[in-house]
Amino acid sequence: MDDKRPIRELIACQKPGWSLERRFYTDPEIYKLEIDQIVMRNWIFAGHESQVAESGDFKVLNVASESAIIVRGQDGKIRAFANTCRHRGSLVCLEPSGNTRKFECPYHAWVYDTEGKLIGARDMPADFNKEKFALNPVSIDVVHGLMFICFCDGPPSLDSAKRDLAEPLAMFDFENLKVAATKTYPISANWKLSVENYVECYHCAPAHSVYAKMHTLMLDANKQKRVQGHMLEKMPACGLKVISYDCADINAPPGQQGYTYSRTAMFEGYKSGSRDGEPIAPLLGNLSDYDGGGSDISIGPVSFFLAYSDHVVGYVFTPVDQTHCQCQTYWMVRSDAVEGKDYDCKELMWLWDTTLYADEEIIVNNWKGVQSRYYKPGPLSGMEKSEARFISWVLHELRRAPSITS
């Protein structure tokens, strides 16, 4: 029988520490609420500043029904615009990235400059005022080299994240990273399942044999504490401080975007997230040696980073529509590293390419299963605490929707 309960009641009945009711994945009304209350109201990682290093450099980011052009203007400033023509709404920029002095709409050829101003519109009436038809701005901010966009006018503040993450991100010199490779993994599943999957490592041992050989996140708390020892001893001599912030989702300070930082040891003998655990690129920042750890960082609800000593992987999970999402992945190395000499892209990508394909498969299986009439929420394990917290936060944000509160 179809569950016809009002959404408000569905939220109220959700048991803390259990997976979500099926309708949170399948109900179009709930998807619409999530887009308005969550996806468009939080910061989303849009790439490293170095990807738009020169005036005229641009890249496009698509999230659900939104598309943004991120561009460095002739004045050197980075801006973001809705990729929607002010004439009749066509996408303006069809290229994923490039360098340009102007954007010409492919429909009727209205032309915008890199500051978003309309500079050309053919055969319009004499009283047509081009100044009133600039591209609509999208919120953009840069956190120590990492660009974030938000599709709303009053986004949460990134000040706490910038302040608290300044020291840990400086250790790896995030500001001077460059993107060595990117890849987008399409996932045929509701977007929340991809975030839920990323934030828990209960699945790591059964689903990721290669990852689980090197990483220790799937160990229970006692065992993990023991393996942290060898890394903690090495950290000071390698140029790394022990820093930890746990301010994600419902733990975020009021009005601030959530964020986390922590470093976890790999098994003894592994120096980096590479095929054989050996170094795979030059050490980041001013690090002097490998401590055998990886730092997990999150900024906002869908953007995650894993900083090994010699490279950083960034993951962004965004909805495409209700039943499809994607993981946009960035592999970053220090900006002066030379491809072919200091690193090899195929080797750099190997571990997480393997791991993300496996993730895609388990997320899609999860999606197929939750659509069954036999699916019922199940209890989460102790290793799925971050998932439980993400679920609570999603419910908390949905509860704030005007249609739920009224």
Q: What is the binding site for ligand FES (CB under 6 A)?
A: 85, 87-90, 105, 107-110
Interior angle at CA 186, CA 180 and CA 191, nearest 5: 110
Residue (41 or 86) nearer to ligand FES, CB: 86
CB of residue 126 to ligand FES, shortest distance in Å: 19
With CB under 5 to 8 Å by kind, the binding choice for 161 among ligand FES, Fe ion, none is none
CB of residue 91 to ligand FES, shortest distance in Å: 9
Residue (109 or 152) nearer to ligand FES, CB: 109
With CB under 5 to 8 Å by kind, the binding choice for 26 among ligand FES, Fe ion, none is none
With CB under 5 to 8 Å by kind, the binding choice for 105 among Fe ion, ligand FES, none is ligand FES
Burial of residue 58 (CB within 10 Å: 0-12, 13-18, 19+) is buried
CB of residue 140 to ligand FES, shortest distance in Å: 22
CB of residue 218 to ligand FES, shortest distance in Å: 50
- Which of 359, 360, 387, 397 lies at the binding interface for Fe ion (CB under 5 A)? 359
CB of residue 292 to ligand FES, shortest distance in Å: 54
Q: Residue of minimal CB distance from Fe ion?
A: 359
Token duo for residue 334: 């220090």
> Which amino acid belongs to residue 123?
D
With CB under 5 to 8 Å by kind, the binding choice for 108 among ligand FES, Fe ion, none is ligand FES
Considering only 14-22, 77-85, 176-184, 351-359, which stretch makes contact with Fe ion by CB under 5 A? 351-359
Neighbouring CB atoms inside 10 A of 214's CB total 21
* SS3 state of residue 153: coil
Residue (108 or 223) nearer to ligand FES, CB: 108
Specify which residues 331 forms β-bridges with: 181, 313
| Residue 62 dihedral angles phi and psi, to the nearest 5° | -110, 130
- Sequence-distant (6+) residues with CB within 8 A of 368 are none
Q: Count residues contacting Fe ion (CB under 5 A)?
A: 1
Residue (133 or 267) nearer to ligand FES, CB: 133
DSSP state of 276: S
Residue (101 or 226) nearer to ligand FES, CB: 101
Q: How far apart are CA 294 and CA 165, in angstroms?
A: 15
Q: How far apart are CA 5 and CA 101, in angstroms?
A: 53
Considering only 14-22, 41-49, 121-129, 354-362, which stretch makes contact with Fe ion by CB under 5 A? 354-362
- CB contact at 8 A, 135 and 111: no
Residue (206 or 379) nearer to Fe ion, CB: 206
CB of residue 106 to ligand FES, shortest distance in Å: 8
CB of residue 173 to ligand FES, shortest distance in Å: 41
Residue (136 or 188) nearer to ligand FES, CB: 136
Token duo for residue 367: 């999606």
* SS3 state of residue 379: strand
With CB under 5 to 8 Å by kind, the binding choice for 107 among Fe ion, ligand FES, none is ligand FES
CB of residue 119 to ligand FES, shortest distance in Å: 13
Show the beta-strand stretches assigned E in 14-133: 44-48, 57-63, 66-72, 78-82, 97-99, 102-104, 111-113, 118-120
- Sequence-distant (6+) residues with CB within 8 A of 217 are 201, 204, 224, 264
Residue (88 or 400) nearer to ligand FES, CB: 88
* SS3 state of residue 102: strand
Closest CA relative to residue 51, chosen from 325, 314, 342: 314
CB of residue 19 to Fe ion, shortest distance in Å: 16
With CB under 5 to 8 Å by kind, the binding choice for 359 among Fe ion, ligand FES, none is Fe ion
Q: How far apart are CA 372 and CA 365, in angstroms?
A: 11
Task: Give the residues lining the site for Fe ion (CB under 5 A).
Answer: 359
